[in-house]
Amino acid sequence: YKADLARTPQGDFMRPTSGRRRSSRSANGVGVQVEDTRICVVMVGLPARGKSLIAQKLVRYLGWLSITAKCFNVGNYRRTNTPQPNASFFDFSNKEGERLRRAAAQAAVDDMCKWFKLPGNLIAILDATNSTKERRRWIKDRCDREGIETLFVESKCDDEELIMSNIREVKLTSPDYKGQDPEEAAQDFRNRIMMYERVYETLDEDESDLTYCKVIDVGAQVIINRLQDYLQSRVVYYLMNLHIKPRSIWISRHGESMFNLSGQIGGDANISDRGEMYARKLPELVKQSAGDLPLTVWTSTLKRTAQTSRFLPYEKLAWKALDELDSGVCDGLTYADIEKEYPQDFKARDADKYNYRYLGGESYRDVVIRLEPIIMELERSENILIVTHQAVLRCIYAYFMGSSQEKSPWMEVPLHCLIKLTPRAYGTQEERIHADVPAVSTWREKGSKAVHADTPESSRIGSPVLAGQGKLNVPVLKV
Ligand code: ATP
Ligand code: F6P
């Protein structure tokens, strides 16, 4: 398939121009014709139903796939510097409250329509309760006039215990309740929900002309109506796979390999003696971090990840999609060899590492695309430990942490280090656990040839305080 295609300067493959292809269209590498589709995802649901969480995850996921998306949160348009109103503001018989809330919705929709006029902006998420049929019709009519598709996404959930825990987990830290007594704030939020319940209308057969997806009880049931195109189904498929059970994902590179020692890239080498030491230590590190939690280990199909995970006492699954970025004709070379043999390519990769595709191989962008099923499966799963490779790990990390395409390919991920990622309400918490088994550093700084040398002692183990406690943890919290 690849052989039929020409390479663009960015490394993207282009189909030979056919009579049917409009030259003005541009593809973003994930199969989306940029000028074809603009979608407003309209969130629907009572307060504390996870709408903002869904909206933020969707923006992160789409961004990771190079689909430009933005969330417009109506609550942020409503908030002013004056003291925040209490629940009675949300009483639908409160005319002034109603006027201000409508004005906030209007301002958010206006900004969204402006945003859609910029090229490449594909998906907006309108995050508000949008709790009445009248409000939803108003949004649909406006979007229709602007030539924007609408996809309504309702989160419906009546589990009292879950709602209360949502309130405790996220609502009490909302700017609406800054500095307030948590008990009073929780009661006020409960009252706010009651105000909305009085007028709330779920999506039903009266709105059968709308495109919608109704997610009931966090995905226990999903009702889909009138999906129209590929991008909409992709969004819906992602939403169908989300769950909110507490869990973590651990990611590690394989133990140091013989190729790491010689500075060669790619290949399918065995692990070194020090790599073997890491493999033997890994079960202890995982136990220290995960306790007795059940988990599944995912590896690539390359020897070094299987060797690294062979002492782990868990079920294992090998994925081809987790194999290292294919370096094509450069496979088996050192960075110095590449600079000598392919000087132009060496420069081009430094100039745009995310998009640069090795001759006969892959780019970071390609890896992200092949990792999509992995991400989808990760979203569906609970505790997973992934033993993989530098570039692949960077791409998975970028999904969870929302790292930019400029930065993620340059991220330093040392060998012999276990990274624990824990999804939280509005972000991902990160913890790094260093094994204190020496290894070379395979990190290459932009512009350098980087000889693979041993990492300095200081970057392998934790700070003196933590090391003094007999632990090798270096917790890094990024939420
Ligand atoms: P508001 O209308 O007040 O902005 P919201 O619906 O946007 O509320 P979030 O702020 O997103 O609610 O609430 C986040 C909480 O909802 C998290 O604790 C998350 O675990 C939980 N949550 C996520 N998805 C769902 C879901 N589908 N149903 C119920 N709760 C969910
Ligand atoms: O109550 C939750 C909330 O997000 C408010 O912060 C915001 O003002 C409101 O919903 C927006 O939704 P509506 O469309 O009902 O005005």
Statement: residue 152 has pLDDT above 70: yes
Does 280 have pLDDT greater than 90? yes
Interface pTM, i.e. ipTM:
0.75
Global pTM?
0.87
- pLDDT per position as a tens digit, 29-77: 555 554 568 999 999 999 999 999 999 999 999 999 999 999 999 999 9
Residue 188 annotated in active site? no
pLDDT at position 455 is: 65
What's the pLDDT score for residue 83? 72
Active-site pick, 149, 154, 188, 324: 324
Tell me the best of 200, 214, 244 to mutate to test the pocket of ligand 1, counting ligand atoms within 8 Å of each CB and taking the most: 244
Q: Using CA atoms in the order 134, 138, 143, 145, what is the torsion angle rounded to 10 degrees?
A: 130
Share of residues in the chain with pLDDT > 90 (%): 78
Ligand 2 pocket (Cβ < 6 Å) reads 47, 74-75, 78, 101, 104-105, 128-131, 135, 192
| pLDDT tens string 115-147 | 999 999 999 999 999 999 999 999 999 999 999
Give the pLDDT band (50/70/90) at residue 21.
Answer: very low
Strand residue runs (E) in 334-472? 384-388, 417-424, 427-434
State in Å: Cα 170 to ligand 1 middle.
8
**Residue 341 is a catalytic residue:** no
Mutate to test the pocket of ligand 1, among 41, 52, 60, 101 (most ligand atoms within 8 A of CB): 52
CA distance 272 to 439: 9
To the nearest whole number, what is the mean pLDDT of the chain? 88
pLDDT at 170: 87
pLDDT surpasses 80 at 11: no
Which ligand 1 atom sits nearest the alpha carbon of residue 166? 18
Catalytic residue among 254, 389, 416, 452: 254
Give the Å distance between the CA of 408 and the centre of ligand 1.
29
Q: What burial letters (b/e) apply to 328-357, b meaning 16+ CB within 10 Å?
A: eebbebbbebbbeebeebbebbbebbbbbb
pLDDT digits (tens, 9 = 90+) for 455-477: 665 444 432 222 222 222 333 33
- Is 4 among the residues known to form the active site? no
